[in-house]
Amino acid sequence: MFNLKLLKMRRLSSFLLLLTLLVPVAGESYAGGLFKKKKKKVTTEEVKEPVKKKKSKYEKLVQTPGIVTAKGDFLTIHKVGQKVYLEYPLKYMGRDILVGGTLSATSEPLLLNVGYKYSAPVLYRVVKKDSSIVFNKPNLAATMGENKEWVKKAMEKSYIDIPAKSFTVHSYNADSSAVVIEVTSFIKDNKALAPKVSGGLLTSSPVSSKFTFEGVKAFEDNASLEVAQPVEAQYMTLFGSIPLGQVSTRSVITFLLLPDSKMRPRVQDSRVGIFYSLNSASARMQFPIRKISQEKDGFDTYVLANRWRVEPKDMEAWKRGELVEPVKPIVWYVDDAFPDEWRGPIKAAVLNWNKAFEKIGFKNVMVAKDFPKDDPNFDPDNLKYSCIRYCPNAEANAMGPSWVDPTTGEIINASVIVYNNVVQLINNWRFVQTAQVDPRVRAVKMPKDVFDESLTYVITHEIGHTLGMLHNMSASASVPVDSLRSVSFTQKYGTTPSIMDYARFNYVAQPGDKGVKLTPPDLGVYDYYVIKWLYSPVPEAKDMWEESKIAEKWIDEKAGDPRYRYGRQQLAFRIDPSALEEDLGDDPVKAGTYGIKNLKYILNHLNEWISDDPDFSHRMQLYSGIQEQYMRYLLNALYQVGGIYLSQVKDGTAGEAVKSVARAKQKEALAWVLKELRNSSWIDRPELINKTKLAVYPSAKIIAAVSKVIESKRAMVLLSSHVSQDKNLYTIGDYYDDLYAGVFAPTIQGKKLNQEEKLLQKNIFNRMGVTCTDYIKNTRAIKSLHPSLEEMMAYNLFSKSFMDEMYRHLQEMEQESGLGTVARQLLPVQFGQAASPFQEEVEIGVIDETFGYNQAMLKRVVTLLKSKVGAANRDDRVHYESLISMAEAVKQVSK
């Protein structure tokens, strides 16, 4: 059956389909009628590219052509041309860092040494403040003495940190975990980071216009960049500066992250010689740290002992008395620039200190390795590595500086700098001090066994410094002089109870003393004692204060025993005759008598023992060493005159803080020195001097130098008698009586004078005249106790190479401005080192009565000379008349 409705629907569908086919596609237009097609217009559709994402400042930075980047676990550092940027992780905000410089290369090793840190690193606490990153200097002036709320509030309000440098945030890194700051000017303009020639009259200034950034490195906990910067060096005199020229340098500037978990500090005890940390909020104001508590009325103060973080891996095993490994050993890397024959003795010196650590329950604390050749991560400039470095300059010395976290005293990194000419020093010492008894050293070059034991001694001493130990100059004074001639004693103890003393080699031993040990011990009883105090764990203590009380008892136990006494090194003020460099034994007169006997023996055999020396250069070097040694024997004894023993003493324990040398010892010492000077021509050897140069003979120079010191002793005698508790004290009147009797003895006796006696009278009388004139002019009355230039040179109180080079300038300075002028310029004002409380300079002008005694002696001498001049022989008469004329000149000045 046909469906009409369905048929209609099909027709409609077909019509709609046809209509669809006729409709124009998009882009066509129509005009005139529905089915009239307009001419097609061809167009090109615009294709829009994706919108480019704008680069961030960080992306622009890291994509800069030529950028150099070093990425470490702590910092990432970028160098873009002559700009430097740090990526500082936000997670380290609030942490402490050290920033400092180490010299990595130099054009003049005499002035600047590779591996040395010329300024203490600066402590910063990094914080984010608004849109800036701030390097604050933590305020270490005070600490909480008790954990109470009032103490916290007091600290928060009165000891806030000090903003040092603010940096604008340049950008954030890709994941916003770190901020980027530019540190270009912070490094370039920071004088604390610039290498500098420093010390007394030597100064330098950086040449900023030639500063360049070189390379960057990054490590686990530190990052560094190398910079090149010349410095202009100058030598300062009273008459202006003398330019020493420009020195090229490269330095490594390091940013070091300090541990988050800090080492427990150990409070310093002034009865042991340990380097220390003070409050360092201001470079110009460093004082002991204040302890905020109510335990005492008023502040209690303290300083922190410097030490490595040596902790047992297994505390329970250590408590049971077992030897245990440390959590982190102290590893030393030996420079590959050293001569091969030096390596063995250097490594032996490092390992020597394991003996002391074993005594307190540790094994393998000290480790010695060569610079690795196959470790790409090793870098001697990385503060992760402590290195023993070779410095090829003419300095005959070595030293051991270190970097310390001042918040705890923890030693973070250390270096030992060994100068080339230390070998020359060792050879000369061994010959001059032991050739009388040791045939091995009678040679131009020391045999290997002697060289090894001598170099090991020097490096052991320097490693002691890097462990935190200061010089202990009183150690050798505890040894009876005759014990130094004992085989059994010296084989057990060596020449001194401490390797940290300057007790070189056994100059007391006589030619027949076979089997006597001639060197210091590997470590002395004092060294074991100090390592125990400094490094023994105290796990039972609840805090640093309780720990210090426990450790203090270990020192109390040894109080009064001279072997454990600490004698501070004396630089600017030389007061204590028992704490000197280059001495041996408890009696300097007796030790000096033995020593001079040996010097005469050696000098008589010098040409016999040293013959392979056609130009006499080595013999003259040894001859100079003999003269210096003789000078030291005289000065060692002379320090008894007006001497005062100084010790750090705790109430309730044995010992005296201040004690004057006994009257009898002072009289004996002065008489012995004067007698020696009157008979010093034995040291004049024309057969040596006239082979090489035209020169004044040494006896004359020694008499002139020692006479200055003798006459200046009036100041020390005055002070010593002032503080003496002995009823039978040595007075300023006694000193002038003994000086008169000793210097003018042959004149009093009517004897003909020898040349040395004339020189001694002339020099002492001349010095007294100068002193009198100074008082009259009121220019240089007694004000201080500084040593003379000759004393400085005899005891190497300043760089020997510098003193030798500049001797004439320094001599002119002292002649122009008075005795002690050079010392005031070159030496630290602070007496000694690491003492708390500190011994300041003693001003004795208020008790000075020496002018009257000086005047009285001048008159007494003139009266004597006038009574003897008529009967004297021609030469003595001329000498006496010249002294009388000098006295008349002084009298004219006083009118």
Question: Which pLDDT band holds residue 587 (cuts at 50, 70, 90)?
Answer: very high
User: Phi/psi at 119 (nearest 5 deg)?
Assistant: -130, 145
* CA nearest to 461, candidates 435, 489, 439, 494: 494
The predicted pLDDT at position 738 comes to 97
The whole-angstrom separation of Cα 62 and Cα 54 is 15
| Cα(391)–Cα(371) distance, integer angstroms | 16
Asked whether the beta carbons of 97 and 187 are under 8 A apart, the reply is no
- What pLDDT band is residue 23 in, cutting at 50, 70 and 90? very low
Q: In this predicted model, which residue has the larger pLDDT, 303 or 364?
A: 364
Q: CB under 8 Å to 599, separation ≥6 — which residues? A: 432, 626, 629, 630, 683
**What's the rounded mean pLDDT across residues 719-739?**
95
pLDDT of residue 199: 60
Query: What confidence tier does 46 reach under pLDDT thresholds 50, 70, 90?
Result: low
Specify the range with the lowest mean pLDDT, choosing from 626-630, 631-635, 711-715: 711-715
Structure tokens at 413: 């990194």
Mean pLDDT throughout 87-116?
A: 87
Helices first, then strands: H and E counts in the chain: 27, 27
Query: How many domains are there within the chain?
Result: 1
Using the predicted structure, report yes or no on whether residue 845 has a pLDDT greater than 60: yes
Cα separation, 140 vs 620, whole angstroms: 53
Q: Which residue has the higher pLDDT, 426 or 180?
A: 180
Residue pLDDT, tens place only, 535-556: 999 999 999 999 999 999 999 9
Of 41-45, 243-247, 301-305, 673-677, the range with the highest mean pLDDT is 673-677
* pLDDT value of position 831: 38
Exposed / middle / buried, residue 582 (Cβ in 10 Å: 0-12, 13-18, 19+) = buried
pLDDT band at 591 (very low <50, low <70, confident <90, very high): very high
Query: Are 305 and 469 within 8 A, CB to CB?
Result: no
Q: Would you say residue 7 has pLDDT above 60? A: no
Does residue 15 carry a pLDDT above 50?
A: no
Which DSSP helix (H) or strand (E) runs through 89? Answer: strand 83-89
Mean pLDDT over residues 640-647, rounded?
95
Q: How far apart are CA 502 and CA 787, in angstroms?
A: 18
Q: Regarding predicted confidence, which is higher, 600 or 806?
A: 600
Q: Output the furthest CA–CA distance in the chain (Å, rounded).
A: 182
| pLDDT of 286 higher than 60 | no
By the 8 A CB rule, do 677 and 760 touch? yes
Domain, as residue range, for 240: 62-261
Q: Is the per-residue pLDDT at 835 higher than 80?
A: no
* Angstrom distance (rounded) from CA 696 to CA 848: 37
Residue whose pair of structure tokens reads 């000197």 in the numeric block: 580
Report, as an integer, the average pLDDT of 226-234.
89
In a domain, 159, yes or no: yes
Grouping H, G, I as helix, E, B as strand and the rest as coil, residue 881 is helix
For residue 751, tell me if it sits in a domain: no
Torsion-angle region of residue 62: left (phi > 0), alpha (psi -120 to 50) or beta? alpha
Q: First-to-last CA distance in the chain?
A: 165
**Model pLDDT, residue 445:** 86
**Tokens at 652, concatenated:** 């309730």
Q: Tell me the C-alpha to C-alpha distance, in Å, between residue 123 and each of 178, 257, 404.
A: 21, 10, 10
Distance of alpha carbon 32 from alpha carbon 49, whole angstroms: 39
Q: Where are the alpha helices (DSSP H) in 295-437?
A: 315-319, 340-352, 354-358, 422-434
Give the residue-averaged pLDDT of 358-387. Answer: 91
Query: Using 50, 70 and 90 to split pLDDT, how confident is the model at 814?
Result: confident
Q: Quick one: pLDDT at residue 837?
A: 45
Query: d(Cα 66, Cα 40) in Å, to the nearest integer?
Result: 57
pLDDT value, residue 840: 67
Contacts 24+ apart (CB under 8 A), 656-660: 658/723, 659/725, 660/720, 660/721, 660/723, 660/724, 660/725, 660/726, 660/729, 660/730
Q: What is the mean pLDDT of residues 158-170?
A: 90
- CB-side neighbour CA atoms (13 Å) of 868: 27
What is the rounded distance in angstroms from the CA atom of residue 802 to the CA atom of residue 824? 16
Alpha-carbon Rg for the chain, nearest whole angstrom, is: 38
Q: Does the pLDDT value for residue 218 go beyond 80? A: yes
Domain annotation covers residue 462: no
Indicate the pLDDT class of residue 379, thresholds 50, 70 and 90: confident
Residue 125 belongs to some domain of the structure: yes
And the tokens for 400? 């051991």
Whether 226 is covered by a domain: the verdict is yes
The Cα–Cα gap between 673 and 678 comes to 9
Average pLDDT, integer, range 66-70: 94
Q: Please report whether residue 667 resides in a domain.
A: no
Tell me the mean pLDDT in the region 57-86: 94
Band (pLDDT 50/70/90 cuts) for residue 839 is low
Q: Could you say which DSSP state residue 467 is in?
A: T
- Mean pLDDT for the chain overall: 86
**pLDDT-derived band at 309, boundaries 50, 70, 90:** very high
pLDDT of residue 4: 41
d(CA 520, CA 518): 7
The helix/strand/coil state of 342 is helix
Q: Is residue 216 one of the residues assigned to a domain?
A: yes
Select from 822, 779, 780, 817 the least CA-distant residue to 803.
822
Q: What per-residue confidence (pLDDT) applies to 775? A: 75
**In sequence order, what are the beta bridge partners of 204?**
233
**Chain Cα centroid distance, residue 429:** 23
401 located within any domain: no
pLDDT at 562 over 50: yes
Residues 6 or more apart whose CB falls under 8 angstroms from that of 541 comprise: 547, 550
pLDDT tens for 381-424 read 777 889 999 887 767 777 777 889 999 999 999 989 888 788 88
Question: Is pLDDT above 50 for 14?
Answer: no
582: CB partners within 8 A, 6+ apart: 502, 503, 504, 632, 636, 794, 795
- Give yes or no for residue 56 having a pLDDT over 60: yes
A 10 A CB-CB count for 160 gives 12
Of the two residues 472 and 23, the one the predictor is more confident about is 472
The length of the chain is 895
What pLDDT, in 10s, does the model give residues 850-882? 888 999 999 999 999 999 999 999 999 999 999
**Local confidence band at 780 (pLDDT 50, 70, 90 cut-offs):** very low
DSSP β-bridge partners for residue 103: 251
Q: Give CA–CA dist 83/211, Å, rounded.
A: 12
Under 8 Å between Cβ of 761 and 676: no
Residue 508: pLDDT band by 50, 70, 90 thresholds? very high
Distance of CA 166 to the CA centre of its chain: 32
* Contact between residue 228 and residue 248 where contact means Cβ atoms under 8 Å apart: yes
Q: Is the pTM of this model over 0.75?
A: yes
